[in-house]
Amino acid sequence: MTAAGTFNTVTGDILARGSFTIVDFRGRVIDRGTWKATEFFGFRQAAGGGPIPGEQSGVLDMDVTLSSNGGDTTFDVPMRVVCNIPGFDTEEPAGTTVGDFTVTGGEFTQFNLHQGP
């Protein structure tokens, strides 16, 4: 799974998208596609935020639309992204959950805080 985007906790705006690959137990690709955020539900920052100003541990909740390269589109799928930076834990396992499917790890997940004037 890949992802990039932005969200605003004040206005509820979200612009995020990425791609996904589904493999079977043998590691063979059975589907590929893209996803796009459609609704922002919230972001919970870990206590203390992160080790460097702007780096944040946290939990992001949103709905997404999944578009399979095979032609199927699935709407309103819940997605949760959990980022834990050492020392700034959310008390949830790091990783991404899409619907009922969870990819654990999340060592390449990072939230960056951008604040306006």
Among 15-19, 85-89, 105-109, which stretch is predicted with the lowest mean pLDDT? 105-109
- The pLDDT of residue 24: 93
Nearest in space to 85 (alpha carbons), one of 31, 117, 47: 47
The mean pLDDT value for 47-62 works out to 86
Q: CA-to-CA distance for 105 and 82, rounded, in angstroms?
A: 9
pLDDT at 116 over 70: no
Please, what's the largest Cα pairwise distance for the chain? 51
- The amino acid at residue 26 is R
Nearest in space to 41 (alpha carbons), one of 16, 19, 73, 20: 16
Angular region, 82: left φ>0, alpha ψ -120 to 50, beta rest: beta
Q: How do the domains of the chain map onto residue ranges? A: 4-112
Q: How many other C-beta atoms are found inside a 10 Å radius of the C-beta of residue 73? A: 9
pLDDT at 106 over 90: no
pLDDT at 117 over 60: no
